[in-house]
Amino acid sequence: MSSLSRPRVAPAGVHVPAVPAVPAVAAVAAVVAVAAVGLLAVAVAAAAPALPEDQYRGGWETYGAQGMHIYEFSIRGSTVRGIYCTECNDGTTLAFVDGTLGPNGLTFLVTHVRDDGSTDYVDHATAKYRQGQMIVDGTSGAAGAARFHYVMRKDPRGPAPLPGGAVGRLPPGPLVPPVHFPASAPPDIPPGLWAHRICQYLEPRTCPYVPPGPDEQLTPEKLVGVWVGFRDGPGKQMFFIRQVGDQLRGMACGPCDNPYTMAALGDFRIEGDTLRFNILHEDWGRPGFIPFHNQITAHVSDNEMRIINVPDRGPRPGQAAAPRGRPAAGGNTLFGPISIEATRGNSTS
């Protein structure tokens, strides 16, 4: 368990504890001093009006004696899609949400799939926001299963900090101050056979990317599985891609025990040697531009997926559009795919 992981067991005699107030992320205090400008930003964030769908969107978790269940709801208009999982770095628990938002809350299906993309079973559920909690009721389609009832919350740790600016959340709440890293420049590496490897050892953040081979022609079969990268330990990024009927869907997480640090993957398109998809960020990001999609363009070579990210930064009603982002030089690398079955038994506890 990481130092930030939440307890899984309720206090004695308590079945479902009350939802605590959302504090600042504990890890931020160790690396960031909150300046006066940060306090002003918190006040501005708290005053921002919430749209009705903001009460529902994003990640929700059970807690206490309910066991682990996580939903991520991506909402555009009345259309709802997203993901469900239990131990979320175990890809065999990943299932997919489709539904609608109406005056009485969410009505949705959760489709659990087999390895070949066919449907194993379907849950039927509703969700209603009530005083900071999400109340989910439904019927499982699993053999021998029955009705379920979950009282869910936003993770009290809040979103993770990012460099370069504060992180906001929906529904509006305290901002997470940024983490500051010292600037660095590419090291002066003499040319030669081992120049790239030396550069990777000395300064991996700024070392130019050299693909291991030509870009491969892509098929769903080459993509389905788990792609891992960015870093190691609990903070590594895991991209789960699954066949769901005739389409690809998925989830990204890291760590995988906090709904704020996970998101559904959707809108997959294969164009020869190029893969495009969206990371659906719903309840955290740069203040004023939530929700948004990280638009991914990827290429694969020798089990490396090189991804370039361009946030759409679309405006919310009444807001001006932000400038379209530009991909960072080089992008990021994921390695895989690991079979979904190979993640069975992984635990976020």
* Alpha carbons 23 and 158: distance in angstroms, whole number: 7
> Concatenated DSSP letters for 80-138?
EEEEEESSTTSGGG-EEEEEEEETTEEEEEEEEE-TTS-EEEEEEEEEEEETTEEEEEE
* Alpha carbons 155 and 152: distance in angstroms, whole number: 9
Residue 270 predicted with pLDDT over 70:
yes
Are the beta carbons of 250 and 241 closer than 8 angstroms? yes
**Tokens standing for 61?**
């978790």
Percentage of residues in the chain having pLDDT higher than 90: 58
pTM beyond cutoff 0.85:
no
Q: What single letter denotes the amino acid at residue 18? A: A
| Confidence (pLDDT) at 188 | 67
pLDDT tens-digit series, residues 194-233 = 676 676 666 666 677 888 999 999 999 999 999 999 878 8
Instruction: For the chain, give every residue range classified as CATH 2.40.128.
Output: 36-158, 215-343
CB count in 10 Å sphere of residue 184: 9
Nearest alpha carbon to residue 265 among 298, 228, 297, 239: 239
Per DSSP bridges, beta strands 119-130 and 133-139 are antiparallel
* Alpha carbons 157 and 225: distance in angstroms, whole number: 29
- Residue 274 forms beta bridges with which residues? 271
- Return the SS3 of 76: strand
Q: What is the CATH number of domain 36-158?
A: 2.40.128
Q: What is the CATH number of domain 215-343?
A: 2.40.128
| Confidence (pLDDT) at 316 | 53
- Return the SS3 of 108: strand
308 versus 31: the higher-pLDDT residue is 308
| Confidence (pLDDT) at 200 | 66
Tokens 């769903």 identify what position?
Answer: 220
How far is Cα of residue 281 from the mean position of the Cα atoms in its chain? 7
Are the beta carbons of 242 and 117 closer than 8 angstroms? yes
Mean pLDDT over residues 64-93, rounded? 95
Are the beta carbons of 142 and 121 closer than 8 angstroms? yes
- Residue 269 forms beta bridges with which residues? 276
Mean pLDDT of the chain: 81
Alpha helices (H) along the chain: 26-31, 36-47, 195-202, 220-223
